[in-house]
Amino acid sequence: MKDFFKSVFASALGTFLALALGGFALIVLIVSLASSAGSHPSGATVSVKPKTMLVIGGGLTINDTPEHGAPGFESILLGEGGPQLDLYRALEAIDLAAKDRNIAGILLSGPLSAGLTQKAEIRKAIAAFKASGKPVIAWIENGSQGEYYLSSVASKVYVHSAGELEFKGLASYNMYFGESLKLLGIGVQVTKVGKYKSAVEPYLGGVMSEPAREQSEALMGGIWKRVLGDVAKSRGIPAPSLSKIVNAAGIYDARKAVSLKLADKAMHRDELVKQVRSAGADGAGAGADESGTSFLQVNLHRYASKVTLPRSGARIAVVYAEGEIVDGWGSPGDVGGDRLAHDLRVLRGDKRLKAVVLRVNSPGGSAFASDVVAREVGLLKAQGIPVVVSMGDVAASGGYYISAKANLIMADPSTITGSIGVFGLHFNYDELAKKVQLGTDGVKTARYADLLAEHRAATPEELAIVQTSVDGVYEDFLRIVAEGRGLKRDGVHEIAQGRVWLGEDARGLQLVDKLGGLRDAIQEAKQLAKAEEIELIQVPALHSGRENFLQQLLSDGDNDSPVFAKASADPAKDFLKANARWLRAVRALNDPKGVYLTCPLVPTRR
């Protein structure tokens, strides 16, 4: 028996030492990777040979924020570890390429994950690139509508002879859990202000309400009109004719796409290589690669390492608010109210700071967190530091709440904004407990000690208390917008009611001052700062030390991938991605008062 215990002890000690040494080695490895994480593109600048094509696409993701930090469980589960690039550097890289003698042209190839407003800015930058006289070619194999929208700006659009492209219009569907929750015995009680505040509808029934349908049709129609107009202009097809083409099919094989002038020519990959190598104005395009079977190329993600931020002059900070607004510090991909407020407070103490650009790409979220951030925006403005808001795909509800006090608000014509309304949600498992014979019992010291307890439905008196809180938040919302925009309370209330507006319509309602993108907002901030030259800083900064071991393992690597490589097509992964946003939405319901400023209409990144 004694030997047995000695053996067990020795085995346990050996296991412990192995785990300790393994853990130490892992820590060393993580530290090593962390020190080298982001060495590209923020480290050594990529070397570009003469006659190299700049490739845009290939599964690249464009975010507003330079650095989201370490991936969470969702990123691991969904495999979203591919190359990422922030919008500002993407645009600056395209501008730089126009002047770079070693860049022979641009090839748009494969999917690029970004929102419509981001793609619109990239299209604008590519259109400016074309003025340099260098060719812009698009290559489509089996292209989605989002890929075609970006590709259509090219001088020439080529499609694989055995491929197809998609151009079919827009559709938006929500999943409704109301009847399922009832079936399970989970109760949902809602308090809200605003007849258009439809974010709660998925939890209540099985179909959208008429007000929700009305505003959805208006928004989708406006966005589609913009997409159709952009493609029509680029391809030289009248918008009415293009609309007929879309309604005739939606998916077009190579031959049909060419006959309809959606594409210029059908070809195979080897033919594309020849085309790219002879695409220049002088008939000499990209140079041959080492194998002689392809051409010299550098992807946008790598090329962006050549971009440097302005470093002399008045200091202007670009602060990013991208994702759901949540209470507390938040996770990567969220807008943590405390974290963003802290960043703004630190900037307010910077004596060299002359202006702030707040880039908002958020459907809102926690009412309390939104108010914490809005307070800091107001303090910046009161201190004489101008704040310019640049709206991305969506800056609605809480996203608009944190924007309202700015000196100037800019939006893209297709930005989804407004949604000035409030709601509260109370879930309970009263009926479910009865079904499974689950008992809950206890004591309390006061009438409302168990207010909004999950084990039972709230009483009418309790709901009235919550409604009073919701009404108060709505009045605060109206007041902040009225004061920030120089409007009357009743006037704001008239256009509020939770109604969502497109950027171009919001400008007419005085919710937005000007139309423009991120770099336009930086120029406006430069003018407000009365500066000829600027030092630009980003918050959070690129590679701010939050990358980790898992991010390195999950990434696709920093080497240039072949032009024909593309993101993997995994139906299971696509299904998870399509439904993950509902899980994120539930996770973001962490407001301490259970009151939310959330817009349900979040654009899809395709």
- Our CA dihedral for 269, 273, 276, 278, rounded to 10 degrees, sits at -130
Distance in angstroms (rounded) separating the CA atoms of residues 285 and 508: 46
Distance of CA 150 to the CA centre of its chain: 17
Strand partners, 159: 140, 266
Question: Terminal CA-to-CA distance of the chain, rounded, Å?
Answer: 66
Distance in angstroms (rounded) separating the CA atoms of residues 566 and 110: 6
Distance in angstroms (rounded) separating the CA atoms of residues 403 and 258: 45
Tell me if 317 sits within 8 A of 353, measured CB to CB.
Answer: yes
Distance in angstroms (rounded) separating the CA atoms of residues 412 and 407: 17
H helix runs in 172-268, sequence order: 178-184, 210-235, 239-248, 254-259
Query: What positions carry a catalytic annotation?
Result: 197, 397
What H or E segment, with its residue span, contains residue 123? Answer: helix 116-130
Strand partners, 417: 395, 501
The DSSP annotation for 386-414 comes to: -EEEEEEEEEETHHHHTTTTSSEEEE-TT
Strand partners, 299: 55
Half-sphere exposure of 72 (CA within 13 A, CB side): 10
Spatial CA neighbour of 112 closest among 99, 98, 94: 94
Tell me if 404 sits within 8 A of 106, measured CB to CB.
Answer: no
Distance in angstroms (rounded) separating the CA atoms of residues 358 and 350: 16
In order of 152, 304, 324, 561, the CA distances from 60 in angstroms are: 18, 12, 22, 11
Strand partners, 366: 596
Distance in angstroms (rounded) separating the CA atoms of residues 231 and 151: 9
Distance in angstroms (rounded) separating the CA atoms of residues 55 and 108: 6
Long-range CB contacts (within 8 A, 24+) of 243-252:
245/167, 246/167, 246/168, 246/169, 247/169, 249/168, 250/166, 250/167, 250/168, 250/169, 251/164, 251/165, 251/166, 251/168, 252/164, 252/165, 252/166, 252/167
Tokens 């550098």 sit on residue: 298
